[in-house]
Structure 1
């Protein structure tokens, strides 16, 4: 046995020296090694000779394959490589020697391209964005699981390319297929990665074959982990690591849905199985299903009446997000906000849409007809007018006569006041002014407005401490908040604002086919938006489809498809032929008649006051010695 080990070392040295250019002084050493190797080979049994030849052939084939992958492909694409050295603890001594020889030969090849290679037992997380290829030398799936246990899996949108060298210990083809299938199953369901190339090395037969797997190759082989042979001859990167997720061939993906119109409408709305979905996010999901060719399996939230769910920084989740974290569903979409806590524990796409949150307040209250009569002049002008009248009466009581210029000025002042008053009243009646409403959040706070939000949109004020004391969470769906506002007492309605999106508000206005709410004066939208919010799609942790969905959503947003769906859904419920001209005319007529009636009542009041004064003066003349007569004499 010791002689065999010496012979192996000599033969390895001979084979390795033949791959490099030797100097003349080294020819003698090479001949000596050759003579010793041939002498040792003659002393071995046929089985030992075959084992020696197979090992050398395996080293040569595996070195050539790794040279093709690492030097010709990875270096050409500027891909850094991580080689796990866990094989030193897992492989038998003979296979360790094979791996060491292969790595020594590959790293010793002359190459013009620089290839960064990291060799360690563990890939640290701070290097994960710099590494593109992971190389493992294993005997079975258990060794691969141990070697990859503490290695980072990469980001959900950034997946490593795996190169697994399987040094099998059996020549049974079925057992080899089972071993490869177990490795691919580990990568798919434990590492959530489909970018894998496996080099099957059979030391007994001195063969090397390359395999990969296609989890969505046909509708009959969904989530398949069966090995598929790959040719290494003149292979390029896309031949070894092809795109496997751009056509799912009708395989199912499960999506959690809940009723949150207009973003997601679920039918039927009972506890039965979901048969149809509609709405803005539903249209986007259908487009993705059509482009990626997968079938949708719709699932209800748990519990069914819960809208979405919550994700906390300690990893606690509820609702749909808990289902994703437990891998009971693949997708959730439906007004799901992009939040750091969710991105920490779940895979999520980049924002595919931006929502504008606005303030919705009770409509402006119109001025009464009597207020309009006092509206042309502010308080100071009215005080000035009263002071002038009082001064004039004082002059009359004292018997003071105004000189002509002052008297003319008095008459002109009265004329000016009258013209201004009549023109202002005319403008008020013509324009129908309303009481001022806030135009921004700052003005609403200055006017002492309180805020109400549904639980679904509470996250928009959750990190605004200055608003938390003014904010109240109301139960129910976001679109039902408007009816709850109108049901409040009148004094509270006037000082309450709803935080909502434009989609919710427009959907509420269009909930009836007759359009009776289209010109509803009871609710109006504040001019300035409250804030913006981003929405994302969420997946299980490290889900391998995240990058594909993210790229598709990015393309849809850049091409305007997302905006088109948003606009189409936004206005589809509003009847463009609806006209409210007749209703507006009736409203204008009623307000105009109301002011005419008010002016008529004021005229009657003045006439009645005049008649009363005339009657009192007549009575004072009938009793000239009475107190009434003395008052009129003073006037």
Structure 2
């Protein structure tokens, strides 16, 4: 009997031990509030505060929440407390909110909103994430619930270590919920920069919860204070790319490099500069500007230059100045939302004829003019030598009249057959020259002053245009590319001053070309091919996963939606170069324009010149009646 009793007691002890160690997974997770002890009451307060934050700051923004749990070196009571908090969140979450429990797979990526239930900062630091390239610019929000009771002396240190651990993995939106030794539940956040703009964070208390109603004692601000980024007047280093009309240096002195000093804001203007000033006023930071002399480029192999090289070397915090966000190597940095779009076009020189009416003054080539002048000299000498021998009246006058295409009176026509043959030949030659000149006059008055331009990229290649660029491009043959490591302005001058027979083309933003033509309105002959290469999207560049990106994005979107950016663009781009379709229609319409008074200006000038010469001749004839010397000179000139 005693033996049976001992075996029964031993069996009950073994069952209890086995159930305690191996049957925990099958146990029902108790609901917070089932017990009446002080520990259950404190846990209920922490869980209720967690549910309040989830409902107020997560459920209203997204419909999915991920819960991750971590407990390093925890006792069984602390593990039980964490399970109670998680169970309470699952039972009392919003019905529209889906909750996912983390399974612990090594390749799991973080979600936009994640709830961490950890015992201390060490457990949070042991969380591992995988950030694929597609998620590098996504904004994440963490709510960390610390289940171990904290003391007032160390609670800010624990919150700071958790926040710094989140910032190391580029998560800037993080809040910490802790429970103090006196059972009060407190939420902590942070602000960037310490006193005197020292790098670091300042942990701040966001709010405390009422232990009875589980409601905040005072109105809580946003749980993620970086949403309202306020840099407290601290300086940000900005690398700027000199590219009119986006970022321009006013003075003609050499642009300072990063190592030599900063650039004063008084020396700058441009669309991007004004946008940067608006962002500085909205986000409360001071601008320390550096403009490298080297052009900002993406080179082969992932190498960069200019202000992007400064950004990669952590010498500046952001880079701006007409920088493209559509480059295939932009994964090197984080880019803001697009604040402006411009076509990337091919720029060529629109060759004109010698002047607007230059061909009227020089209608023939040099060799033709040389032959005509020689023939005229020979005719004048021959007429002067033979005039006395053949007794021709008004020989030189007849020669001048025939040269201008005017008729000669019949009595003045030579009588001999040989002279009549020479006279007829000369009349035929002057008739041909006069018809050719009239045809040239009609061409000048009727046709445009520019030669036809290539229509697209294929036409440029077929006509053997040489590309002037800083690097080779996929869309243009490498053997037809001439590398020139200079700015857009230098390339414009290079193409403008090239020989007339040299066919050159370069690439540029349409805004850059519009600003150049606006500043050189009377001398510029540059235009663009109507087929654009691609639509260039301009952005602000940051370091990879910089905390500045999200605040800049929100403010840029506000400026875009309010029309502020469009107002700035209109002030710097007064010429309508952005409407490509309208530009094409105007170009096609000008191929054969109607004859207007503007086109007839050259004819009016020639007519006025002839009237002036006739007035001068009339005046000389009137003076010859009174001045005998002038009269004798006219008689000598008209002698045969």
Aligned residue for 1:333?
320
Do the aligned residues in 2 keep the contact of 1:133 with 1:161 (CA within 8 Å)? yes
Deviation for aligned residue 1:205: 4.4
Deviations 1:314-357 (A, max 9, x none): x6555433443454422100121113544423211232212222
Do the aligned residues in 2 keep the contact of 1:16 with 1:105 (CA within 8 Å)? no
Question: Following the alignment from structure 1 to structure 2, what is the Cα–Cα distance between the partners of residues 557 and 566?
Answer: 11
Aligned residue for 1:524?
526
Go from structure 1 to structure 2 and tell me whether the alpha carbon gap of 1:308 and 1:93 turns closer, same or farther (over 3 Å shift): farther
Aligned residue for 2:428?
none
Go from structure 1 to structure 2 and tell me whether the alpha carbon gap of 1:559 and 1:17 turns closer, same or farther (over 3 Å shift): closer
Q: Match for 1:350 among 324, 337, 346?
A: 337
Aligned residue for 1:200?
178
1:364 matched to 2:352 = yes
Q: Match for 2:509 among 484, 501, 505?
A: 501
Go from structure 1 to structure 2 and tell me whether the alpha carbon gap of 1:471 and 1:322 turns closer, same or farther (over 3 Å shift): same
Go from structure 1 to structure 2 and tell me whether the alpha carbon gap of 1:285 and 1:90 turns closer, same or farther (over 3 Å shift): farther
Go from structure 1 to structure 2 and tell me whether the alpha carbon gap of 1:17 and 1:94 turns closer, same or farther (over 3 Å shift): closer
Question: Following the alignment from structure 1 to structure 2, what is the Cα–Cα distance between the partners of residues 310 and 185?
Answer: 33
Question: Following the alignment from structure 1 to structure 2, what is the Cα–Cα distance between the partners of residues 498 and 147?
Answer: 52
Question: Following the alignment from structure 1 to structure 2, what is the Cα–Cα distance between the partners of residues 278 and 355?
Answer: 19
Go from structure 1 to structure 2 and tell me whether the alpha carbon gap of 1:502 and 1:298 turns closer, same or farther (over 3 Å shift): same
Question: What is the 5 A alignment of 1:172-321?
Answer: 173-188=152-167, 190-202=168-180, 205-215=182-192, 223-232=200-209, 234=215, 239-242=222-225, 244-266=227-249, 269-271=255-257, 272-273=260-261, 274-276=263-265, 277-300=268-291, 304-310=292-298, 317-321=304-308
Question: Following the alignment from structure 1 to structure 2, what is the Cα–Cα distance between the partners of residues 174 and 89?
Answer: 22
Question: Following the alignment from structure 1 to structure 2, what is the Cα–Cα distance between the partners of residues 244 and 279?
Answer: 29
Question: Following the alignment from structure 1 to structure 2, what is the Cα–Cα distance between the partners of residues 123 and 98?
Answer: 26
Question: Following the alignment from structure 1 to structure 2, what is the Cα–Cα distance between the partners of residues 156 and 18?
Answer: 38
Deviation for aligned residue 1:67: 2.3
Question: What is the 5 A alignment of 1:19-38?
Answer: 19=33
Go from structure 1 to structure 2 and tell me whether the alpha carbon gap of 1:328 and 1:154 turns closer, same or farther (over 3 Å shift): farther
Question: What is the 5 A alignment of 1:361-400?
Answer: 361-366=349-354, 369-370=363-364
Do the aligned residues in 2 keep the contact of 1:219 with 1:249 (CA within 8 Å)? no
Question: Following the alignment from structure 1 to structure 2, what is the Cα–Cα distance between the partners of residues 15 and 500?
Answer: 67
3-state DSSP of counterpart to 2:50: helix
Deviations 1:550-574 (A, max 9, x none): 23323333444333323322459xx
Aligned residue for 1:57?
41
Deviations 1:219-260 (A, max 9, x none): 768753323232345469964335643443323222112433
Aligned residue for 1:551?
554
Number of residue pairs matched by the alignment: 481
Deviations 1:79-104 (A, max 9, x none): 3111223x145544432222122222
Go from structure 1 to structure 2 and tell me whether the alpha carbon gap of 1:132 and 1:524 turns closer, same or farther (over 3 Å shift): closer
Aligned residue for 2:494?
484
Aligned residue for 2:539?
536
Q: Match for 2:461 among 420, 431, 445?
A: 445
Q: Which has the higher helix share?
A: 1
Deviation for aligned residue 1:429: 4.3
Question: Following the alignment from structure 1 to structure 2, what is the Cα–Cα distance between the partners of residues 90 and 591?
Answer: 100
Question: Following the alignment from structure 2 to structure 1, what is the Cα–Cα distance between the partners of residues 243 and 511?
Answer: 11
RMSD across aligned positions (CA): 4.4
Do the aligned residues in 1 keep the contact of 2:333 with 2:542 (CA within 8 Å)? yes
1:427 matched to 2:442 = yes
Question: Following the alignment from structure 1 to structure 2, what is the Cα–Cα distance between the partners of residues 499 and 153?
Answer: 30
TM-score by length of 2: 0.64
Q: Which segments of 5 or more consecutive residues in structure 1 lack a partner in the other structure? A: 21-33, 38-52, 375-416, 512-516, 573-583, 597-635
Go from structure 1 to structure 2 and tell me whether the alpha carbon gap of 1:508 and 1:239 turns closer, same or farther (over 3 Å shift): closer
Question: Following the alignment from structure 2 to structure 1, what is the Cα–Cα distance between the partners of residues 230 and 434?
Answer: 79
Do the aligned residues in 1 keep the contact of 2:256 with 2:290 (CA within 8 Å)? no
Question: Following the alignment from structure 1 to structure 2, what is the Cα–Cα distance between the partners of residues 105 and 431?
Answer: 87
Aligned residue for 1:475?
485
Go from structure 1 to structure 2 and tell me whether the alpha carbon gap of 1:252 and 1:168 turns closer, same or farther (over 3 Å shift): farther
Do the aligned residues in 1 keep the contact of 2:193 with 2:202 (CA within 8 Å)? no
Do the aligned residues in 2 keep the contact of 1:132 with 1:161 (CA within 8 Å)? yes
Deviation for aligned residue 1:478: 1.1
Deviation for aligned residue 1:106: 2.9
Question: What is the 5 A alignment of 1:4-83?
Answer: 16=30, 19=33, 53-71=37-55, 74-83=58-67
Question: Following the alignment from structure 1 to structure 2, what is the Cα–Cα distance between the partners of residues 263 and 558?
Answer: 20
Question: Following the alignment from structure 2 to structure 1, what is the Cα–Cα distance between the partners of residues 150 and 133?
Answer: 30
Q: Which segments of 5 or more consecutive residues in structure 2 lack a partner in the other structure? A: 1-15, 369-431, 576-597, 611-640
Question: Following the alignment from structure 1 to structure 2, what is the Cα–Cα distance between the partners of residues 319 and 141?
Answer: 41
